[in-house]
Structure 1
């Protein structure tokens, strides 16, 4: 019988089934290194972004707080240190050097006191005249009160006057040093002078009236610090793992070299 169909065309052979794919689009296949590296890289990027963003917010807030409440004392003229040395010495003689006070009154100071006033003129003229009036006082309590008034009442709190405030504190504190602390008012004036200096600048002394840092410093700073610690830990773990792989590879190479030498020795023998 003919194998042709009624139309005259040869009968088509049944198609053979196509070969089945070796694997169905990766089902059951173990993820490669690139696939494993993707989530890890995204986690690291998220931690870095979190650390930088929160750290920037906390850093800006902390810098603003420090600029207002924890300013470092500015540099003062070198003569201030010399003036401090002379002012710490007790006054044993009457003054002979004329100086004018803020009110225009002429007072007479000792050579050491006159040197301190001349140094104060290099910082601020009004400071020098206030200092001249305070040093002209010989009664200890009155002298201490006038020295305290210079820092407390006659120097603005604006940071633009920090240099004047620092110089005034250094010379006033030195002038209070030889005063007898048992006299009423001297010890209290010295304590208030130290307290006012500590509240104006960032010193080792604690200022009871200084406000705490703003909450944003802690709200943003603590998570930023934790994120940074996480990054450090991840880096250390990755470094340790890489070092372990390097040691294992080195041991395998050493073992292979020993086996090759043993095989060559066996063939030669």
Structure 2
């Protein structure tokens, strides 16, 4: 119900037996292991599919594009598996340690949680398109180029499913639950995990980073209010899917020509 977003006590009920000092190092280790697993996925992809993999011509655009997408897919899948496995250490209950719990207010809150997200996103994007259209195009162009490649369906998986699952289970699941029991509390934990998540998008413009920042803070607020990772994963997936579908229907202006001295 909509009241669960605005009224009543915090619905956060996550708990883990992980020592507080070990949570952040474990998160970094999970990310490093997953990144290495991504490189293994690229190697396996090229070995199994050979010339049909599209990454066997050294230096080609097809090679780079497909390799990046395969790496991302392998990394995201590894983050989900490793984080879920690690969440059970120290006799912790995995569902509680990752806040994979029933949302406070029931499952209908999934719909209500989307409304503020899309209302603010449309306002934010509309203002940016009017004020700094070239910056918006700059942030979106790499995704459009990936989606126009041969690995379209894998790109859609990475954007619409892989990113929401892996990022939420690590940042708003494992790290959030582990840090919330420290002196940081829910507010400090929201800031720390959101800043770490924002740093993951370091290639964006300052406006793109600000968008990631406010979305991360909103997802953290949802965790504190509703207490369920299912809600943030759902919102993240729907948002990314909406953006991906919108990119299929728009034509971005070509990048500016390089300045010749």
Do both share a fold (TM > 0.5)?
A: no
More helix by share: 2
Q: TM-score, normalised by structure 2?
A: 0.22
Q: Which has the larger radius of gyration?
A: 1
Q: TM-score, normalised by structure 1?
A: 0.22
